[in-house]
Every structure is written in C-alpha cells, then in structure tokens.
Amino acid sequence: MAKEHQWDVYLRPNYLTTDDLNDCIADVLTRLQTQHNADIAAKIAAKTGQDKNAVLSNLNQRDEEVKNCLLDGKSFADSLIQISPRVTGVWATSKSAFDPAIHKRTADVVLTQEFRGALEAVGVRVLGTKQGGAEISLVTDSATGATDGTITAGDDIVIDGDKIKIQDEADEAQGVFFVDSDGKEHRVSRRLTVNKPTQVIARVPADVSGEVKVVVRTKYTNGAALKNVRELVYDVPCKVISQ
C-alpha cells in the first residue's frame, strides 16, 4: 500500500556491531533541512490568510511559555511530544547538594501516541549504500539531546560521521574547532572523550557563544595518515547557548 509520506535513506556500515561486518544503519537524506518557526508561520499564513508576522509572534510566544513551564519544573505535552524536566548524575549520599560539575539539568522528550501513529503513514525508500567519503553527518548536544544545531557551552557534543577520528590530538593543526561569526577559531583543548573513526565526543569551550560552524580537522584515513590535514565542516549552522 502506498504511503502518504516518504523518507529517503542511505545505508552505511554499522561499526558498533563488531560481530557482524555486513549490517548497516540508515541516514535520512532530508534530515538536514531543518524547519524553524518562520517556516511554519509562512505555511500557516499561506493556508489561512493570516498575517505571517502575527503567526510567527504567536509561535515564538508559545515557545517562551513552554520553556518557562519546563524551567518551573512542570511537564508539557501537546499532540506531538511530551517534555519532562530531569536531572542526571549520581549523588554520593542522600545529603549531597547539587553539583553542576557532576549533575546536569536536562529534559526528556517522548513522542505521543498520536505522533507514533502518524509515523505509520511514512514510507521508507532505501537509495543504496552511502559512499565512504569523510563527512560529519550529525552533531548531537549531549546535555539536551538536540540535533537541530543547538549546542551547550561547557558541555559535550557527539559528532557522528565517517573518517572523523583525530589522528593526533597533540597536533594543534588537528582537532575539533568552533568557528564563530567573526571567523575566530576555538579549538577543543580538553582530551576528547571519544575519538573513533565514526564518532568523536568533544567538550564545547566555555567561552564560545552565538552562531558557529563545527569543524573537524584531521589526517586520519583508513590507511596511512594523510600528508595534509583534511577539513570537514558540518553542514548545519550551529548556535552555542549557555547552561
């Protein structure tokens, strides 16, 4: 039966399952086309004849109220998701205080039953095997789980991709860099938590803020080290926020 919607995916090797060299995982082709409130406001205005700016203002106000709801320790649910506040980390004893160096304020996001049901209308078409070129395929903020380009200063990001391992962390020409809107580069000096060909976990410098590009520079390849540094730039514009 034909589906109302469709996701196109490329398959790439699943390096996490070392006991099976043939299995693959999927990359959704359209996931980089991030939509924002302005895009949604334009669509609503086109359908209803409402003023786009008025619609955008309402959407932004809604975001602000939802944010305040979470900041006040309340859960929020709409027809798509339920968001609940959560604090992670381990307390040494029942009398220990909150320590921001150990504990993290975050939120859990769960799809509603209605949204899970709506996903049944999505067909998935496999386009074939993704070519094995070096790339950054996804950046995830470990503090919030966000994959929309929002990352938290002073916290870790998870960089997924292919051939992104930093060949030599001591080489200042290699590493993970955050390039701000003025072109200033902020290199991650802290030891990488994970440094593998398909995943790097790096700490965002605390002094970085605003719009940035996430850049990986490395001499790593599947064979001998590259003679020159290869630069990989994440396609999605990122924004660093404070904790």
DSSP letter for each residue of 142-207: TTT---SSEEETTSEEEEEEES---S-TT-TTSEEEEEETTS-EEE--SPPSEE-SSEEEEEPPTT
What is residue 128's predicted lDDT score, i.e. its pLDDT? 76
What is residue 201's predicted lDDT score, i.e. its pLDDT? 95
Q: Which residues pair with 231 in a beta bridge?
A: 217
What is residue 20's predicted lDDT score, i.e. its pLDDT? 62
End-to-end CA, the chain? 47
In order along its 243 residues, the chain shows pLDDT tens digits of 668 898 888 887 676 665 665 778 887 876 556 788 999 999 999 999 999 999 999 999 999 999 999 999 999 999 999 999 999 999 999 999 999 989 999 999 999 999 999 999 999 989 777 655 788 988 999 988 888 899 999 999 999 988 999 999 999 999 999 999 888 999 999 999 999 998 999 999 998 999 999 999 999 987 778 888 999 999 888 999 887
8 Å CB contact between 27 and 145: no
8 Å CB contact between 155 and 243: yes
Backbone angles phi, psi at 220, to 5 degrees: -75, 140
What is residue 31's predicted lDDT score, i.e. its pLDDT? 54
8 Å CB contact between 126 and 11: yes
Give the orientation angle of helix 37-48 with respect to helix 52-71, to 10 degrees. Answer: 130
What is residue 82's predicted lDDT score, i.e. its pLDDT? 96
The 10 Å Cβ neighbour count of residue 195 is 19
Provide the token pair at 68: 């305040």
Q: Provide the pairing of β-strand 122-129 with 5-13.
A: parallel
What is residue 242's predicted lDDT score, i.e. its pLDDT? 83
8 Å CB contact between 79 and 112: yes
What is residue 120's predicted lDDT score, i.e. its pLDDT? 94
Provide the token pair at 210: 């605003």
In this prediction the pTM is 0.55
Residue in this structure with the two tokens 């959704």, named with its chain if needed:
28
Instruction: Enumerate the H helices of the chain as residue ranges.
Output: 37-48, 52-71, 113-118
Backbone angles phi, psi at 82, to 5 degrees: -120, 130
